[in-house]
Structure 1
């Protein structure tokens, strides 16, 4: 008897061959049962049920605590407290001179906090997520967070006008309202928001934990790198961490706006598609041919050829009348002015008659044929 494996959703069922007395082999029957991975790839992808984060009590408590920390940092810098003195100690320590071997690597690492490169990288990943999940929510959430980041951080930067360590003018001073734009740190806040949005949009608790740890590590490293290079004070980095975290914690309040924006974009796209299908389904207007009348020759008033010619002329006249009727209708549609290409040419010839040239229709004397006698 043939032997085979027991069927299972995760196995391949193979029917073995056997030897017959005449030393011939039976056909090998191979039955492949698709595994879950290939079956999932062959199916049409469906958008998963994504749970939208809500503003829970725990999140509200974190938001309130982060906001209090944010205001405390701003107040400590405004009054030139111990935090400003710590800024100057770190600046005069010059970490980039203490560990110069790290400078080359950290110059590239700090790019993870620049808004342009990080936005392109994260937007590419979220664009694939949007296509895979059949929703615009990931891209719209990223755009909303970056807009909030530019408005909030930019307003505080320009309002306080703090100078950086390389442009400081007085030791121990907070260097506020001097035309600068480094407080809070934009690199640090951007790193928190751009990489933290991946954890915010995660669909499983495990992925959310891993991505939260990754974004915290990247944003922490970017902030300390700016202090090492000397482009920011330590207080700038602390305020940048708080500013980015506030935006991530406040995103659930903007989820209804994101949902309405997505619905509006999809509705506009459907209207555009409907208009495009309507334009493609309308057939072009037919063009009626102009009538062509066959000329009459002398002596062709009778006979079958004359009857056929008269019938063709009558059909051409009828089609010409129909074409003129259509032209008149289109002219009325154009407010009574016919189109230049649809005007009927005037009857007759435009060449003036010649006094000495006889008309072509009159019968003249017959010309003699070369090489033959003239007919009487």
Structure 2
């Protein structure tokens, strides 16, 4: 009796993935709704309020100094080693590689470039906005502060807002933004919020950022996620152009290559005089003609030089002339006698 082979765990996983549709019938693209516009406006107001509070050295700056003097890394040194690794979840390089690998797999499965292009647009906006704010305000970090109680603005620093926090909000929040179901979007939104909150507080614990830096980083990352629906149209246009370029490249590679001309075919000769001459077909070379040996070669096997027969004809090589003999006999001189 023939029995079927039992599939392993990985084979069952890949078999389940193969049953998924290769191209979804409908991709839910977020739109800039009224609710999202209200959230974007509130987040922008919060962002500007934090910047103003730091510029005028308000209570927020005093709170920054109090947390810095508290030195959390000295209060709880037992979690220092773990948080040194946890803060990597906010670094742009490792997180971008991990998220791009997942979104690349989704793009390959769904035959669409939207996940990768959305990630690229979000990271581009993050670099432009956060980078401009960092170098524009030039705030120094806690380890490089010069005057106690000062806001340390416009002194050549680059920590305001926190890049780790903003990157964690955008990189992990893009998974929730691209989720295919509302339930997955809710779970991924909560997970990205907890992750970014933990990364921001870790930078405060390590003493690399002020507390106000983390608050502004959260606001900066959330602004980018809320503004992404405005860039859906350019993302769709870029996808169409990239796919059209790919199709043109494939069509050029698949074009038939012209067959080479045969050996005996006439070739095109440049020049006006030569081109006017008719091209005559050459006589085909037969096997008997090709196998015919030259007349000047002696037949037979190879022999030594002394044993070879002469190949030149015997006798004089001068052609015979009949008039020489008659002329010589007619004009013969008499012998002078004796």
Normalised by the size of structure 2, how large is the TM-score?
Answer: 0.76
Looking at both structures, which has the greater relative contact order when contacts are Cα pairs under 8 Å and sequence separation is at least 6? 2
Structure 1 partner of 2:103: 126
Partners of 1:103 and 1:39 lie apart in 2 by 42
Instruction: State the distance in 2 between where 1:214 and 1:114 align.
Output: 17
Report if the CA contact (8 A) 1:47-1:135 is conserved: no
Residues 216-244 of structure 1: CA distance to partner in whole angstroms, max 9, x if unpaired? 00000000000000000000000000000
Q: Using the alignment, how far apart are the partners of 1:243 and 1:181 within structure 2? A: 15
Q: Considering only aligned residues, what root-mean-square deviation do their CA atoms show, in Å?
A: 2.8
**Gap change, CA 1:40 and 1:103, over 3 Å in 2:** closer
Q: Which residue of 1 aligns with 2:328?
A: none
Aligned residue for 1:175, secondary structure, equals coil
For 1:46, the equivalent position in structure 2 comes to 23
Gaps of 5+ in 1: 1-26, 31-36, 290-321, 339-359, 368-376
1:47/1:134 contact within 8 Å kept: no
1:93 equivalenced with 2:70 (yes/no): yes
Name the structure 1 match of 2:324: none
Residues 284 and 251 of structure 1, relative CA distance in 2, 3 Å threshold = same
1:174 paired to 2:122? no
The reply on whether 1:213 has 2:199 as its aligned counterpart is no
The yes-or-no answer on 1:286 pairing with 2:286 is no
Which residue of structure 2 aligns with residue 365 of structure 1? Answer: 313
Aligned-pair CA distance for 1:42: 5.4
Matched, 1:102 2:102: no
Gaps of 5+ in 2: 5-13, 276-295, 298-310, 316-338
Inter-partner Cα distance in structure 1 for 2:167 and 2:208: 15
Q: How many residues align?
A: 275
| 1:74 alignment partner in structure 2 | 51
- Structure 2: distance between partners of 1:76 and 1:52: 37
Query: Relative to structure 1, is the Cα distance of residues 172 and 28 closer, same or farther in structure 2, using a 3 angstrom cutoff?
Result: closer
Once residues 274 and 102 of structure 2 are traced to their aligned partners in structure 1, the CA distance between those partners, rounded to angstroms, is: 59
SS at match of 2:27: coil
2:93 match: 116
Pairs within 5 Å for 1:207-356:
207-278=184-255, 281-289=256-264, 323=266, 326-328=267-269, 331=270
* TM-score (norm. length: structure 1): 0.68
Q: Distance in 2 between matches of 1:134 and 1:192?
A: 27
What is the distance in 2 between the residues matched to 1:155 and 1:40?
Answer: 43
